[in-house]
Structure 1
Amino acid sequence: MSQPNWEEAIRPLAEPLSRPIRLAALISGGGTTVVNLHDLIVAGELDAELVNVIASRPDCAGIDRMRSREVPVEVIRRKGFESTADFSEATFEAIDRAEADLVLLAGFLAFIEIPERYAYRVLNIHPSLIPAFCGKGYHGEHVHRAAIERGVKVSGCTVHFADNEYDHGPIILQRTVPVLPQDTADSLAARVFAAECEAYPEAVRLFASGRLEIAGNRVRVRPV
């Protein structure tokens, strides 16, 4: 499988869309991020269509949540494949069939290899201010507990283009939240998730508007 040249300069990354952007989302758990996106779509606040949600495990709570909203869901079990390459190929073939414009990692815990044809078309949201508290093993409450134990005064979330390293690709936007003296991992997680609910749809809007430009590892937003 050929690998994308992540340092290649591309300006702009995509042309503006004159129709709702077609989204595929990848989940491994409760799917709350995708629920938020779907609610915004239904409310008319996000001009998008969820064309496929792919779960890496059959016991994801997000599967029932999506099906109850009549969103197409497909289970592609990571344990059903011997290699990351085979799992990745099957996943992106399903995304191809759905004809998605953009892929969203939404609490997706399985490592995946992004093929050349999807370079700069896969987003991830991480519950910290990258490069703090990120990389392999940093997910969910592990991130928030580490932030509290380190004593940081602010945390937040980061939306970035995913590449073939954990939490590594070019950053699109970040949102900050305070870390309070009385915070637990749960209370900080709730505050960060509220920021995520604003940041992820905003990144989708920027992509769909054709306003994102990239040079090296820097993403710039072209003014309206």
Structure 2
Amino acid sequence: MSTPAHIDQKKIVVFASGSGTNAENIIKFFQKSPNASVVAVFSNKRSAKVLKRAHDLNVKALHFDKDALYNSYDVLHVLEDINPDLIVLAGFMWIFPEDILKKFPGKIVNIHPALLPKYGGKGMYGMRVHETIIQNKEKESGISIHFVNENYDEGEIIFQAKTDVSEEDTPESLAEKIHKLEYKHFPEIIQQLLQKKSQ
């Protein structure tokens, strides 16, 4: 059984659309922290593996559809009940609705698998990003952690980390390099943001 959250513990909610390795990494990181925890994982795909990962780690796992996010305000109402200190998008593929952005200003962050403003925008996610970077013979890539606004990948950048791209790299090998950066830095940046909110 999970330990009850301490009254002063910061609450994190994660949104993800796919496998959820980043979400799992963040959950495990904060399970060791006395100051914050992931209290819920939301996914727009009923079959997304991230929901099982969350459930297996004793974190509430919630599925929703487009109507619940964009029209009926169901997702907003659940978030209002939780009142998270930070909403983290970890491989979430839909644009975030304005009503949630307005309700949680400066509290929604995303990770992107490239060095923004390059290789961002609608349709640029996952392996598509890595394939394009390899095709364009870029010498470096990396991750960007940024605040979320009403446009894909255009919010204020909080943090970036780089990795070299060699001539031998494939989209798959580049993806592995990027995952390492994500696993290392994303939980740490989330922790730093929560600490700033406490000051």
TM-score (norm 1): 0.79
- The alignment covers a number of residue pairs equal to 191
Which residue identity lines up with residue 130 of structure 1 in the other structure?
L
Quote the RMSD (CA, aligned, Å).
Answer: 2.1
Give the 3-state SS of the residue equivalent to 2:135 in structure 1.
helix
**Paired position in structure 2 for 1:205:** 191
Asked if the contact 2:31–2:37 (Cα under 8 Å) also holds between the matched residues in 1, the reply is: no
Contact preservation (8 Å) 1:159, 1:199: no
- Structure 1 partner of 2:57: 69
Pick closer, same or farther for the CA change 1:102–1:114 going to 2, 3 Å.
farther
Deviations 1:26-67 (A, max 9, x none): 1111111110011212344x8421111111010101111110
**What does residue range 67-216 of structure 1 map to in structure 2 within 5 Å?**
67-78=55-66, 81=67, 85-86=70-71, 89-115=73-99, 116-210=102-196
The residue that corresponds to 1:38 in the other structure is: 27
CA distance in 1, matches of 2:122, 2:113: 13
Aligned-pair CA distance for 1:160: 0.3
Answer yes or no: is 1:54 the counterpart of 2:42. yes
**TM-score, reference length from structure 2:** 0.89
In the alignment, which residue of structure 2 is the partner of 1:217? none
Moved over 4 A (4+): none
Distance in structure 1 (CA, Å) of the matches to 2:172 and 2:141: 13
Q: Secondary structure at the match of 1:190?
A: helix
Q: Counterparts of 2:193 and 2:8 in 1: how far apart (Å)?
A: 13
Aligned AA (2:58) = E
For structure 1, which runs of at least 5 residues remain unmatched after alignment?
A: 1-17, 213-223
Note the residue ranges of structure 2 that are not aligned, 5 or more in a row: 1-6
- 1:211 to partner: Cα distance: 7.0
Structure 1's 176 and 19: CA in aligned 2 closer, same or farther, altered over 3 A?
A: farther
Alpha-carbon contact 1:26-1:107 (below 8 Å) kept: yes
State the SS of the aligned residue for 1:210: helix
Whose relative contact order is higher, 1 or 2, with alpha carbons under 8 Å and at least 6 apart? 1
Structure 1 residue 134 displacement after superposition: 0.6
Q: Between Structure 1 and Structure 2, which shows a larger proportion of helix residues? A: 2
1:85 deviates by: 3.1
